[in-house]
Structure 1
């Protein structure tokens, strides 16, 4: 697991504060409203991270369940979303025995680095999606949209501050992964900053593979472009299906 989601998890709000998600979350809210939410909908987020999306989306739902593989990130999210259910789990294997009106997977889906990983995550989304419900999946890149690049940012907090440099590149265009390198400068109080390096390995697949795996899972998918140039996969679980999820939540 990358350092950012483990020993550096408590620094997450300074790297990616919730107010940076306002515009993006407004787009997701618009998509969900346009596609139609069921009465008294429930939301399941797979890979919720620090909960920065949920804090803006949860008012659409009667109940919200947030899951993540990282205990440290769940702790950050609980502080931000104490009104939501939090559960530790791997999106490839999670089985709650319940179904939800909406299943949301933000950029945590990027950590599916093989087609088998991605297939298993999409099956998890399907079995937790109520008949007639929606799954919303938001990878940072598909093969057709990938561009290398750099970003930087960070903020000051209460007695601590963080700055970062992010470098995204693809060292091998023939495989199904790309690399994101982070350099963090972390400072506490008035002391000197320390430096941490963190490497993230992410999955990269063509649109056609995404659509194929979504259909094989049982979804009826479509692609919606977002203001950041990403492919957002909106997948409907048919109201009648041979596959069986849990009772609607």
Structure 2
């Protein structure tokens, strides 16, 4: 049995640049192991959540809505459902994840880019930032991502942020899951979410991922993730600083205990 230890800790860039804390290319589940990603988290798992996001956008946006930009779109799981309603532009830092998403969503535009610095020089009716935002581990990085969302919104457009947790809602514990593929491959994972240190804006989440192919022994990967945790008040302050109006959409969230949701609109 092969055991590999991986890490997604922040990697410093040049001295004048902030650490890059968004899924590094050397994290194999987002690079050479990307073909396994949909067995870790399958597109079908996202149908209910995508329906909720769609209803939020339609409720909050002013005027017709047809275009959506997703920052940190990963393997395209949300887009596999949202593309039925919106013309989607999908962006991610990982070229391997973009390739995986392109195979699932060939009708969608795909652009490689960092959610902190991306500038497409066009506006959208809606912007979605899902759980990839958890890899922003400093307030400066979160501020930059919110600014990116804001500059890509038309007046009356809406942005939906769906982090896994805020500092207040983050829960220490374990989880597990995985899927069997039609090609005979299987993947299972165990997750441990550890308590953040006092005063820290990050927490460590460890994964053990077991992958099996027909006729081959299992491979085991231990993957250590560092995630950002910010108070709800910080989220609200940064959204307001970006010139966005925070909105309560009044839409029932069927998965409200599993994530946080921040909805904001660009003033008309």
- Alignment check: 8 A CA contact 2:61 2:156 kept: no
Change (3 A) 1:37 1:85: farther
Where do 4+ consecutive residues of structure 1 move more than 3 Å? 222-226
1:129 alignment partner in structure 2: 153
Matches within 5 A, 1:1-249: 1=24, 2-36=27-61, 38-39=63-64, 41-61=66-86, 63-157=87-181, 158-222=183-247, 226=253, 227-229=255-257, 230-239=259-268
SS in 2 for 1:55: helix
Change (3 A) 1:223 1:117: farther
CA displacement at 1:200 relative to structure 2: 1.2
Scaled by the length of structure 1, what TM-score is found? 0.91
CA displacement at 1:87 relative to structure 2: 0.5
Residues 3-24 of structure 1: CA deviation (Å, up to 9, x unaligned): 3212221110101011111111
Task: Count matched residues.
Answer: 238
- Alignment check: 8 A CA contact 2:207 2:222 kept: yes
Scaled by the length of structure 2, what TM-score is found? 0.85
SS in 2 for 1:126: helix
Extract unaligned runs of 5+ from structure 1: 240-249
CA displacement at 1:231 relative to structure 2: 2.5
- Alignment check: 8 A CA contact 1:167 1:181 kept: yes
CA distance in 2, matches of 1:194, 1:223: 45
- Alignment check: 8 A CA contact 1:154 1:164 kept: yes
Extract unaligned runs of 5+ from structure 2: 1-23
